[in-house]
A = this chain, B = another copy of it.
């Protein structure tokens, strides 16, 4: 199989109780592709400005990530600034500058067009159709969203869900979208709109996977040192889909294993600022923690 990730590539400024980092590399596409790269060779599509460092593109390549779909446009790269308090589940967005993202309409290079798994990470729902129409019958379309689209493009979001197989959302987003507090009921409402799998990300509380006839769930890997939660959700999705891509089949068994894979990668990301931990992470470390984590949650 082959995994295509369409998402943001950004500069993040992050403030946590452990310090501040200015203009470090971030973005949903970045985290997702790096996380997936431990399991497969993902293709990344996105846009950056002329201020984006070439070394980062080289680093993606080193990690086995295809970068032909990263477009460099005149102007500045998308910037985000956020702050976390001692509760890593709560974050405050201080600034969002779309810059080159504002008018971005991905045109996929030819070698991306035969992707079997497509992940649309936090992409404007109105752009989904344009992206998907460029791909030759993907077996699996996955998407994530952000509160901004849930609030401002509710109808479009419900429309695109019809063509989606796996929908990732955090607790607040799915509650907001379905106007339903109970997560089981909320997931059922989304399932009835199209997706065959709904994955609710609950941050430090783990994740629940709702299928048409099954539910599986796990706590998060308990972390003693949460330095920066940025990118945990995107890395979870990346690890999950990367694992799915590698296992080449979609069964309850692979979904469970992918859940462990995604949770494990996410548990590393939060140990340092931005993508720092992902940069020095090894496959061996992931394997070891996956083994430990599986034992921790198995009954």
Contact A222 B297 (CB under 8 A): no
Given A260-B299, A296-B216, A299-B257, A222-B206 contact (CB < 8 Å) = no
Q: List B contacts of A297 (CB < 8 A).
A: 216-218, 297, 299
Q: A76 at interface (Cβ–Cβ under 8 A)?
A: no
Q: CB within 8 A of A219: which of B86, B208, B214, B260?
A: B208
Contact A224 B296 (CB under 8 A): no
One digit per residue, 1 when the CB lies within 8 angstroms of any chain B CB and 0 when it does not, for chain A 244-281 equals 00000000000011011000000000000000000000
| Bound: A259/B298 CA distance, A | 12
Chain B proximity of A156: nearest CB distance (Å): 27
Q: A183 at interface (Cβ–Cβ under 8 A)?
A: yes
Q: CB within 8 A of A184: which of B181, B182, B218, B224?
A: B224
Given A218-B297, A219-B217, A299-B218, A206-B208 contact (CB < 8 Å) = no
> Which residue on B lies nearest to A253, using beta carbons?
B299
Q: A73 at interface (Cβ–Cβ under 8 A)?
A: no
Given A205-B202, A299-B297, A185-B224 contact (CB < 8 Å) = yes
| Bound: A48/B123 CA distance, A | 60
Q: A105 at interface (Cβ–Cβ under 8 A)?
A: no
Q: A100 at interface (Cβ–Cβ under 8 A)?
A: no
Q: CB within 8 A of A299: which of B87, B224, B298?
A: B298
Contact A224 B182 (CB under 8 A): yes
Contact B224 A217 (CB under 8 A): no
Q: List B contacts of A182 (CB < 8 A).
A: 223-226
| Bound: A223/B182 CA distance, A | 8
> Which residue on B lies nearest to A260, using beta carbons?
B299
Given contacts A86-B181, A205-B219, 12 further A-B contacts (CB under 8 A): A87-B181, A182-B225, A182-B226, A184-B224, A202-B205, A205-B205, A215-B222, A215-B296, A216-B296, A217-B222, A218-B297, A294-B299
Q: CB within 8 A of A222: which of B87, B181, B204, B208?
A: B208
Q: List B contacts of A223 (CB < 8 A).
A: 182, 184
Most buried by B among A215, A217, A219, A224: A219
Some 20 contacts from A to B, beta carbons below 8 A apart, are A182-B225, A184-B222, A184-B224, A188-B224, A205-B205, A205-B206, A205-B219, A206-B206, A208-B219, A208-B222, A215-B222, A216-B296, A217-B219, A217-B222, A217-B297, A218-B219, A219-B219, A257-B299, A294-B299, A298-B298
